[in-house]
Amino acid sequence: MKTAARPASLSPKWVNQWLMHWTAKPLLFAGGCLPAIWLIWSAVNDQLGANPAEALIRSLGDWSLRFLVIVLLVTPVRTWAGWPALARMRRMAGLFVFFYASLHLLAYAWFDMEFVWGAVVDDVLKRPFILVGVMAWVLLLSMAATSFDRVIRAMGAQRWRWLHRSVYAVAALAVLHFFWMRSGKNDFAEVAVYAAILTSLLGWRVWRSFMRTPSPAAKRPSR
């Protein structure tokens, strides 16, 4: 089977050049912090509605999912748009997933459980949707802890890649967590949108791996 042809650049070269510029990371970092700043401002100014604690917990969960989508979008966009420098931003986007997921978990432990850790453990074990959310966070923690160059060198590239493929499990667990959370209100429209996006992105990776795998005939040595 032939490998898929590399698409021509679909976008101006200046975008890739800007992504290589020293200002790109600070600006994108500032952009990633904006949702947290806006939520803090809204909480301080009583702008989160009738149930601010629930609104804050859910908004942080939503931003975790959005940054997860961004992480999984990096490779397809880099490939099809011809922006190889976009790969430099993937680690930062992944750390923002962990950041917002950690704030989501912290807000739940604070506002729902008042930091009574025994009650938190009981609640996690009793409610499956919280359990799968915590499982997703543990995987994110393992990836965040191993996202630094020194750790990557110590682990070896192959083992590091295998560990960071856990992002696919995180995506599945996050959607399942969201689905179970919304099942009480029978509201699945937003869940379906995230499920469709994440399934498409994961499907693209499977298709790309299949297209890049040489056929048995191609593996046979020539005589």
For the segment 90-96, the average pLDDT, to the nearest whole number, is: 94
The single residue listed with the structure tokens 């593996």 is 219
Mean pLDDT in residue range 95-124: 95
The type of residue at 217 is: A
DSSP annotation string for 143-202: HHHT-SHHHHHHH-HHHHHHHHTHHHHHHHHHHHHHHHHHHTTT--HHHHHHHHHHHHHH
pTM of the predicted model as reported, rounded to 2 decimal places: 0.85
Buried b (16+ CB within 10 A) or exposed e, 47-86: ebeeeeeebbbbbbbbbbbebbbbbbbbbeebbebbbeeb
Query: Does position 40 have pLDDT exceeding 60, yes or no?
Result: yes
Confidence of residue 12 (pLDDT cuts 50, 70, 90): low
Identify the pLDDT of residue 223. 39
Joined tokens for residue 35: 């949702």
Query: Is pLDDT above 70 for 6?
Result: no
**What pLDDT is stored for residue 214 in this prediction?**
55
CA distances from 95 to 63, 79, 129, 217 (A): 12, 22, 23, 42
**Sorting pLDDT into bands at 50, 70 and 90, what band is 18?**
confident
Quick one: pLDDT at residue 91? 92
- Find the radius of gyration of the CA atoms of the chain: 20
pLDDT given at position 188: 81
For residues 54-62, average pLDDT: 94
Least confident range from 34-43, 85-94, 174-183, 213-222: namely 213-222
The pLDDT mean for the chain works out to: 86
pLDDT at 61: 95
Q: pLDDT tens digit string along 130-145?
A: 999 999 999 999 999 9
Q: Is the pLDDT of residue 1 over 50?
A: no
Distance CA 59, CA 71 (A): 18
pLDDT tens, residue by residue, 73-84: 998 888 888 888
